[in-house]
Structure 1
Amino acid sequence: MAEPRPGLALRFQRRFLAARPLRSLPWPELEQSLRTAPDSALLADILHQLESTAAEPLDELYEALAAVLKEEEESTHCYKNYLLPSGDCVSLCESTALISGGTTGLLTWEAALHLAQWALRNPGLFRGRTVLELGSGIGFTGIAICKSCQPRTFIFSDCHPRVLRQLGENIQLNGFTPEPDGSWSIQTESQGQEVKGQSCQNPKVIVAELDWSSATEKQLLALRADVVIAADVVYDPEIILALIGVLQKLSSSRADRKAPEVFIASTVRNPDTYQLFQAELDKAGIRWQVIPAHSSCNFLYDVQPDVTILQLFI
């Protein structure tokens, strides 16, 4: 059942006034409400709530609201190509709208570009290893690593069905064939040994549906990750604890192998949210350090955002 109109409008107002990132606003609920009752009255209510606060108008918010309305009426996707230092490129089908299908995961965010650039400058960290990416989105960082860093296995993961579908298509667009659905959750010791003989020139690629709130320790440990990466996953206080829960499950002691190395890239849009993430890491006993990164990114051609990369010791 769709949320009552005043409640949804109030949620937009509160998050907007608290300077929450646009991607953390309740877009899926808005889209569902519009599908249930496709009229503009709900948007009018939301805009009235925002404008009645005397807050400064935010063009990006109005554009995002408009994008939700027009999404079903016209195509909002295009193909983008990102040139790698090797001369190869990553080709992606991306959304041209900030919000599409009730998610912000259908376009490439700045932190993913910075993380990929850092990875390509440190290929030895990934060569011959199993890499798990949390919140892969449409796949830029992972595809770049697969093309340039020679991992043995790369596990893309996300939880939104539409994002997973687009992710799979983008992986195939770049010449990789994902393993059959479900293979990620049933890896055994013998499967792990079989993969070790595999050529790193053609890494094994897996797409995993991974919901942080419900993933079990058994599922996560079955992935046998040597390295864990993520980009732009620290944008809303409501998901920070779920993310840290996943990291804690990945850190469980194993007699045969050490815990994975973890690197998380974040665009610092809201310093309070970013500091909350660091504070919760401290509370969980997860040590962290800032990884020196270049201030500019070769994949970006406009304003360079404030992106940091943390190495976590789980």
Structure 2
Amino acid sequence: MVPDLASCLAQQVPVAFLRSTLKTYINNDQDRVLSALNDAQCPPAYVTAVLRTLIQVSESNDVPVSETIAEAYANQLVMPHSSASDDEPTVVRYKLYTPPECPIVASSTVLLREKPNILVSEGSTGHRTWEAALALADYILRHDNSKAPSQVVELGAGTGLVGLVSATKYSSQVIVTDGDDQVVSCLKGNINLNSWAQPLVKAQPLVWGTDHAIVHHDQIVVCADVTYDDYIIPYLVSCLRDFLKTGSRYCLLSATVRDESTLNIFLGCCHDNRLKAELQLTYSDPFDCQFFIPPHSPDIRIYRLSIDNSN
């Protein structure tokens, strides 16, 4: 599964990755691109960039630009735009799809306020959604057939996509957590963007290795892109062990394989703490994912962690 144009525009995929997709619309469907941009409620600067690229692709293939597209682009150029810089937050929309046998129960769209053009801001990573979170959200929606838990806890939640997707899939109580107070504040803002989520989802601080696990009798834990640093791995594994020993059924963990040795340190630490890590799925380029993941990105592995009761 690959995201369609409407999903890519809603996700505000960088236009450099859209040229080949836009080419399929230049002959008879140029106006559909504008319609999709309007439906996605994209910011003016992004609309301008997409229309400019559509015009460039059309002209380079000797295809006339439709009057509607030319007029819309001209209007964008004369429209007074905000002077906000690229690192200003924008609302990104994630369209959700599930197999027919696993219908979404809460909402088919998740809204997140992100800064998609930056890597890190003010010492935190909670300002954009990383590829490991996109893969885990897709896995939960399309591949996880487990009985719905009554509670989901997300660790190192970042923007909160995985937690919010869990709420749509399971209609469970969800607690999204992070060790950074600023990220927790952003999480609360993202929950408020999604009116359907406010009764189901809450955000709170949780520092690995310091704060106690949130105890619940029927719970799963989810986390994405949390194995990136050797230093934090013992604290992460300690936190996961506490959750799994106090009532969590299992943990779904998504790891971007930037450095195989770092991932092996994590898996070794799990083994030393009697946690079983079972590989469920690997996302590789070209990515079979309903959300856009840039080509040539590293593999992303989904693990299911549980207490190892073997001798």
Q: TM-score scaled by structure 2?
A: 0.62
Aligned residue among 218, 223, 227 for 1:230: 223
Aligned partners of 2:301 and 2:165: how far apart in 1? Answer: 19
Residue in 1 aligned with 2:208?
212
Task: Give the 3-state SS of the residue equivalent to 2:157 in structure 1.
Answer: coil
Unmatched runs of 5 consecutive residues or more in structure 2: 1-83, 99-106
Aligned partners of 2:231 and 2:218: how far apart in 1? Answer: 26
Verify the 8 A CA contact 2:216 2:248 in the aligned structure 1: no
Verify the 8 A CA contact 1:76 1:97 in the aligned structure 2: no
Aligned partners of 1:75 and 1:146: how far apart in 2? Answer: 29
Verify the 8 A CA contact 1:126 1:151 in the aligned structure 2: no
Aligned partners of 1:236 and 1:107: how far apart in 2? Answer: 19
Measure how far apart 1:251 and its partner are: 3.0
What amino acid is aligned across from residue 93 of structure 1 in structure 2? R
Residue in 2 aligned with 1:174?
194
Verify the 8 A CA contact 2:244 2:250 in the aligned structure 1: no
Measure how far apart 1:77 and its partner are: 2.0
Verify the 8 A CA contact 1:101 1:162 in the aligned structure 2: no
- Asked if 1:85 corresponds to 2:97, the answer is yes
User: How big is each residue's C-alpha offset from its partner over 1:65-118, in whole Å with a ceiling of 9 and x where there is no partner?
Assistant: xxxxxxx98853222111111682221111231111211222100000000000
Residue in 1 aligned with 2:138?
117
- Asked if 1:136 corresponds to 2:157, the answer is yes
Verify the 8 A CA contact 1:129 1:226 in the aligned structure 2: yes
What amino acid is aligned across from residue 114 of structure 2 in structure 1? E
Aligned residue among 291, 294, 309 for 1:299: 291
Verify the 8 A CA contact 1:132 1:225 in the aligned structure 2: no
Aligned partners of 1:75 and 1:301: how far apart in 2? Answer: 20
Task: Give the 3-state SS of the residue equivalent to 1:292 in structure 2.
Answer: strand
Question: Which consecutive aligned stretches of 4+ in structure 1 deviate over 4 angstroms post-superposition?
Answer: 72-75
User: How big is each residue's C-alpha offset from its partner over 1:202-252, in whole Å with a ceiling of 9 and x where there is no partner?
Assistant: x63221210113112xxx243445111100000000100001111222233
Alignment of 1:29-108 (within 5 A): 75-85=87-97, 88-95=108-115, 96-108=117-129
Task: Give the 3-state SS of the residue equivalent to 2:118 in structure 1.
Answer: coil
Verify the 8 A CA contact 1:157 1:207 in the aligned structure 2: yes
Aligned partners of 1:300 and 1:247: how far apart in 2? Answer: 29
Q: Report the CA distance shift for 1:161/1:176 in structure 2 as closer, same or farther (over 3 A).
A: farther
Aligned partners of 2:162 and 2:97: how far apart in 1? Answer: 14
Task: Give the 3-state SS of the residue equivalent to 1:298 in structure 2.
Answer: coil
Residue in 2 aligned with 1:28?
none
User: How big is each residue's C-alpha offset from its partner over 1:21-42, in whole Å with a ceiling of 9 and x where there is no partner?
Assistant: xxxxxxxxxxxxxxxxxxxxxx
Verify the 8 A CA contact 2:166 2:172 in the aligned structure 1: no
Task: Give the 3-state SS of the residue equivalent to 2:170 in structure 1.
Answer: coil
- Asked if 1:244 corresponds to 2:237, the answer is yes
Residue in 1 aligned with 2:183?
163
Verify the 8 A CA contact 2:130 2:225 in the aligned structure 1: yes
Task: Give the 3-state SS of the residue equivalent to 1:280 in structure 2.
Answer: helix
What amino acid is aligned across from residue 129 of structure 2 in structure 1? T
Verify the 8 A CA contact 2:157 2:176 in the aligned structure 1: yes
Say what the alpha-carbon RMSD is for the aligned residues: 2.4
- Asked if 1:273 corresponds to 2:262, the answer is yes
Aligned partners of 2:293 and 2:265: how far apart in 1? Answer: 30
Verify the 8 A CA contact 2:164 2:201 in the aligned structure 1: no
Verify the 8 A CA contact 2:167 2:200 in the aligned structure 1: no
Aligned partners of 1:75 and 1:82: how far apart in 2? Answer: 20
Q: Report the CA distance shift for 1:225/1:239 in structure 2 as closer, same or farther (over 3 A).
A: farther
Aligned partners of 2:86 and 2:214: how far apart in 1? Answer: 42
Identity of aligned residues (%): 29
Unmatched runs of 5 consecutive residues or more in structure 1: 1-71, 179-202
What amino acid is aligned across from residue 206 of structure 1 in structure 2? K
What amino acid is aligned across from residue 294 of structure 2 in structure 1? D
Measure how far apart 1:172 and its partner are: 1.1
